[in-house]
Amino acid sequence: MTSIPQMPKSWRLETKPHKFCPGCGHGLVLKALGEAIDELGIQDKVIFGCDIGCSLLAWDFFNVDTVQTHHGRTTPVVTGVKRANPDTICIAYMGDGGGYAIGSQHLVNAAARNERITAILVNNCNYAMTGGQMAPTTLPGMKTETSPYGRDIKEAGYPTQGPEMVAAITRDGSYVARGTIANLKQLKGYFKKALENQMAGNGFSFVEALASCPTNWRTNAKDTWNFVEKEMPKYFKVGEIKNPAEKEGE
């Protein structure tokens, strides 16, 4: 059902086709998110905050209230909105640099405070907008503009395990998952659960989405897909990590 080339209702038609590079994972992530918003019927209540980096290109992507912020600062902006107007459904949309590097203190503390917001982080293993530098999520040995001989774990450490970190620092009520553009139906399901978790007032919800960046990976279609489907999940395990709804059912 997701394969038919139909746009989610919550997408903003005037700004399509969108501005992401060909083969970029953002479009797919936003498609899954758009469908989740549609299916939950929450379009009029959503506040969509987007970061700097490629995620900023989503600033006019949806027909929902949108605020484009600074690098790493989307989490506090939508936290501020949610605290001031708890009737809204707030989404902080960011990249791996925004969430795990420059804005990591915001992600950590929003999670620790169990903010009733939904953070969505697109992991494509590099800083894409700035030209493909090493990110917290760059895989060991992976070449980027600032790790031209491959990420040396002795120098740069291991890639950040974001959802695992968030799961470790949150207590009851938080929802944490890692999905991938290789399985959009599953990803959409995670988004729905994350949003429902917020709507139920349970607490912080966090979904990392593994996504492609052929422009900076310098990969062809086949290698791009292979990297997303085979290489990334070796390090970044796809699945639900924390689900308060399940816990209740136990």
Partner 1 sequence: MADKPIQGEKRVFMTGNEVVAWAALAAQADIMYGYPITPQNEIMHYWTRMAPKFGKRFLQTEDELSAGFTTLGGVLAGRRAFTATAGPGNTLMQEPMSMAEMMRIPSVVVIQQRGGPSTATVIYSQQEVTMTAYGGNGEGFRIVYSTGTHQELFDYTIKAFNTAWKYRFPTFVLGDGYQAKMRESLTIYDPQDKGMEMVKTEAFIGKEPVNGIKEPNHIRNTYNTEEELFDVLAKYMEDYLKIAPEIVEYQEFDCDDADLVVVSHGVVSRAAKGAVQELRSEGYKVGYFRPITLRPFPAEQLRAVADKTKTLLLVESAYGQMAKLVKDAIFGSTVAIENLFKPGVGITSEEVVDKVKGLL
Q: Strands, DSSP E only, in 41-173?
A: 46-50, 65-68, 89-95, 118-123, 126-127, 133-134
Return d(Cα 200, Cα 179) in angstroms, integer.
22
Q: How big is the site for partner 1, counted in residues (CB under 8 A)?
A: 35
CB atoms within 10 A of CB 133: 16
The one among 23, 101, 109, 114 contacting partner 1 by CB under 8 A = 109
Chosen residue from 3, 84, 155, 222 binding partner 1 by CB under 8 A: 84
* Identified binder of partner 1 from the candidate list 79, 202, 216, 243, rule CB under 8 A: 79
* Residue 178, SS3 per DSSP: strand
Minimum distance from residue 1 beta carbon to partner 1 (Å): 26
CB of 40 to partner 1, least distance (A): 15
Whichever of 90 and 176 has its CB closer to partner 1, that residue is 90
Least Å distance between CB 77 and partner 1? 4
Residues with Cβ within 8 Å of residue 123, at least 6 apart in sequence: 95, 96, 137, 162, 208, 209, 210, 211, 232, 236
Find the binder of partner 1 among 41, 80, 157, 239 (CB under 8 A): 80
Nearer to partner 1, 12 or 192 (CB): 12
- Write the DSSP symbol of residue 99: I
Q: Using the minimum distance from each CB to partner 1, give the nearer residue, 74 or 161.
A: 74
Cβ at position 45, least distance to partner 1 in Å: 8
Bridge-based pairing of strands 239-242 and 175-180 is: antiparallel
Decide if 48 contacts 66 (C-beta within 8 A): yes
Q: Which two tokens stand for residue 141?
A: 């040995």
**Residue whose CB is less far from partner 1, 4 or 84:** 84
Could you tell me which stretch among 22-30, 106-114, 162-170, 241-249 binds partner 1 (CB under 8 A)? 106-114
Q: Determine, following the binding rule CB under 8 A, whether residue 170 of this chain makes contact with partner 1.
A: no
Backbone angles phi, psi at 179, to 5 degrees: -115, -175
Q: How far apart are CA 205 and CA 202, in angstroms?
A: 9
Q: Which is nearer to partner 1, 45 or 143 (CB)?
A: 45
Within 8 A by CB and 6+ apart from 148, the residues are none
Of residues 19 through 78, those in contact with partner 1 by CB under 8 A are: 43-45, 47, 52, 56, 59-60, 62-70, 73, 76-78
Closest CA to 195 of 74, 93, 65, 58: 93
Closer to partner 1 by CB, 67 or 156: give it.
Answer: 67
Which of 83, 171, 230, 247 lies at the binding interface for partner 1 (CB under 8 A)? 83
- List residues binding partner 1 (CB under 8 A): 12, 43-45, 47, 52, 56, 59-60, 62-70, 73, 76-85, 87-88, 105-106, 108-109
